[in-house]
Amino acid sequence: MKIFRPLLWLALSLMSATTTAQTLTAEHLAGIPLEECAAARSVKLTGQLAATAPWSNRGGTDWRQLRDVCWQVRHIDLSEAQADVVPDNALHSRHHLQSILLPQGVREIGSQAFFACDSLEEIVIPATVERIGQSAFSQCRRLKRVVFEGAPVVGDFAFAGCPALTDVKVQGSGRPQFSVLAFYGTRSIYEEDLMDLDTLSTQPCLVPQPAVLRCGEGDGFEWADIKQVRAPKSLANERAHLLTLLEEATNFDPKANPKAHLSITLAIDASLPDAEAYVLDATAEGLTITGGSPAGVFWGIMTLRQLLLDSNGTRYDRYSLAPIHIEDQPRLHIREVMVDPARTFIPMSELRKLVPVLAQYKFNALHLHLSDDQAWRMEVKKYPLLTQKASTRLGMDDMLMPNPGYYTQKEMKEFVRYAAQYHMIVIPELEMPGHEVAAIHAYPHLTCGGVQVPMRTICGVSNELLCPGKPSTLQFVKDVLKEYKDIFTAPYVHLGGDEAGMPPLGNWTNCSDCQQLKRQLGIAPVDQRADNWRLQKYLFDETITYLRDELGKTPMYWYEPDFKEIQSGCVTFAWRGGQTNMAIESAQQNGVKVMLCPGDHCYFDYPMTRGDMPEVNWGMPVLSLKAAYGLDPAWGHDESFERETIFGVAGTLWGESINSPERITYQLFPRGFALAEAGWSPQSVRQYEDFLRRIHPHMMDLQRRGVSVSLQHLR
Ligand code: ACM
Ligand code: ZN
């Protein structure tokens, strides 16, 4: 292409005027306009930095603003600022950060302070630093050089997963005290022997706790003596998972030991009490895992993986397995985690990473909230503008960073197949009639009056809804569901349904199409709110009938108290904190099942402790680990209630305040362990103190593998 040179020059210089490095120098970030913070490439602060700030206010501490508000910052100079600590998670997963000079007088660098800052190449730890927290620089994949000017105590995994780190200089007179795990997976800079770690627990640490667990006496077997893995063809997938595990975690190698003579047997026994049930037996004669179906065998293999972890979770016990007998089956059939790529896109590579992590704890459903007011993230062939015009979130509250991305149908189909190998179903959500501003932005005719609306850039609830009064709205919903049917093979589809009535479906009142529909349906005026909910019922009834009867899927939706009647064959999600009883009563009256995800136990996007991420949010309450553990899947009722009414449990990870994929697992663990156990283990084996003992190796195991977890419950 031929371009007139002066024009090219002009275009380039205009572009560079908006992209040249912006330098921001200030005592504090409070009061600096958001746009200036968002544009800054270099920030120099000179004041006394506070590690804590009043909660839930705009901006938060300087640290929180450096991380979330100054989203383009490459260089941070705090050499003329003062601070006692660099707080935990200070610059968690800031992939742009290339350099930082730490503040004067700093004594401590908190856990995960620079987790996955993978553009950072060098760090100088000032002489004043006495302690570097767990996983502080974990996954800084380009970090080449660390200079210790003093002699701090350096915590577990502090420099784990830093493959480029080859230059570690100690300049002071003392020698830092490195945890033996400080450089885990980085290289053997210090040749400590992992065997030196304390043995913390002599009992197996399994999460979720199995129904029956008996540790045997005497010897089990040695992996070197295993000659073969026997499994029928129908268990080829499970056999492959097992072989991968054995390769990673044991010295199983049939070719190396001609005297190997024992077997591992995988088998199906359809007489087990549940398709997902399994029995695991390790004796001196070898190992058998028998499942009610391939899923049961798979969960048995996931248990075996946990048995192979040492009591610190930092390595596998490679050589032998002690005798053990486990009989296990799930308490509930669906154990779900919901993620929200609509608000913060989760690239496919990151979504895939979640699957094996969740499967280890026997979650069997991943629910994708694919569209919302802020963005639409799933390709729909009949409506290409959804992804062409509405798949970039433009910003969220005080975080002005654009967040583009969507899933193609081809890659999502492949993902669904991949998840199935882990016995995990993928449940899509088509949110309606509220939380649909992105779709309305792309196709204005979907809303009342056909008004053109901008994409939403703040959290909360919009009054802009799909218009039930226009036949084209129902057609849109059906068309999308029809395309989703072939992509998502799960028997369930979630239809949203939440918060369209708060404020009370106001824009339907003034819409001539909606009023016309009311007359057509014979909705006699009661009051505006009740009338409008009957319009939602119309839209839902039509959609449910289509989804259930024509597409053969089970409809799911978020329970709302105004939504009194619901058709049979649905599953309702009890989510509003304090309103679970109401949701259960309504479900019973309508003869539908309940998925338990009450905000008071299951909303993991809420901070786990005061001051934990997300520090600044729309007013979320704290949801402690103990509160998460306190979820009773029978909700105080008896076994027959649980069997007849409870469908499963779900944990939600709404994405408004989670602004990097790494922060999803941070919000999920350790509370997700509690949810996994609530959904799987019988009440008789659940005990909080014992749970705290058992999760330790799993917290360590996840960190060892570079998965971010919150450590705030230990503070
Ligand atoms: C919800 O949290 N709005 C279902
Ligand atoms: Zn309307």
Output the pLDDT for position 119. 98
pLDDT tens digits, one per residue of 618-640: 788 999 999 999 999 999 999 99
Average pLDDT of 7-21? 42
List the catalytic residue out of 62, 340, 372, 662: 372
Residue 185 banded pLDDT, cuts 50, 70, 90: confident
Count of Cβ atoms closer than 10 Å to residue 639 Cβ: 9
**Do β-strands 320-321 and 221-222 pair in parallel, antiparallel, or remain unpaired?**
antiparallel
pLDDT score of 336 more than 50:
yes
The answer to whether 266 and 296 are in contact (CB under 8 A) is: no
Distance 598 CA to ligand 1 centre (A): 10
Question: Which 8-state DSSP code applies to residue 135?
Answer: T
Return the pLDDT at 10: 42
Residue closest by Cα to atom 1 of ligand 1: 498
Residue 689 CB neighbour total at 10 angstroms: 7
Residue 13 in this model has a pLDDT that exceeds 70: no
367 is catalytic: no
pLDDT digits (tens, 9 = 90+) for 358-387: 999 999 999 999 999 999 999 999 999 999
Catalytic: 435?
Answer: yes
In this predicted structure, the answer to whether residue 171 has a pLDDT above a threshold of 80 is: yes
Specify the pLDDT at position 507.
Answer: 81
What pLDDT score does 55 carry?
A: 52
Q: Tell me the mean pLDDT in the region 543-552.
A: 98
pTM summary value:
0.95
Q: How far apart are CA 409 and CA 414, in angstroms?
A: 9
* pLDDT, average across residues 267-286: 98
Q: Check 192, 499, 562, 642 and give the catalytic one.
A: 499
Ligand 1 interacting residues, C-beta cut-off 6 A = 498-499, 558, 575
| Arithmetic mean of pLDDT over the chain | 92
One-letter identity of residue 497: G
Single-letter amino acid code for the residue at 376: W
pLDDT band (50, 70, 90) for residue 1 = very low
pLDDT band of 194, cuts 50, 70, 90: very low
Query: How many whole angstroms separate alpha carbon 387 and alpha carbon 438?
Result: 9
Ligand minimally distant from the alpha carbon of residue 577: 1
Of 695 and 460, the one with more pLDDT: 695
Q: Is 372 a catalytic residue?
A: yes
Residue 21's pLDDT band, with cuts at 50, 70 and 90, is low
Cβ 651 vs Cβ 671: under 8 Å? yes
Cβ neighbour number for residue 413 with a 10 Å cutoff: 15
Taking residue 410's Cβ as centre, other Cβ atoms within 10 Å add up to 10
Q: What is the pLDDT of residues 698-714, one digit of tens each?
A: 999 999 999 999 999 98
Q: What is the pLDDT of residue 17?
A: 36
Q: Which residue has the tokens 């502090």?
A: 158
Query: How far does residue 435's CA lie from ligand 1's centre (Å)?
Result: 10
Pocket test for ligand 1, best of 558, 600, 602, 617 (most atoms within 8 A of CB): 558
Do 495 and 541 contact (CB within 8 A), yes or no?
A: no
- Say how many Å lie between the CA of residue 566 and the centre of ligand 1: 18
Mean pLDDT comparison of 6-15, 407-416, 531-540, highest-scoring range? 407-416
Q: What is the pLDDT of residue 315?
A: 86
How much of the chain exceeds pLDDT 90, in percent? 83
Question: How far apart are alpha carbons 139 and 142 in whole angstroms?
Answer: 9
* Residue minimizing CA distance to atom 3 of ligand 1: 498
**Which band of pLDDT confidence, cut at 50, 70 and 90, is reported for residue 505?**
low
CA of 159 to the centre of ligand 1 (A): 38
The residue whose CA has the least distance to atom 2 of ligand 1 is: 575
DSSP state, residue 512: H
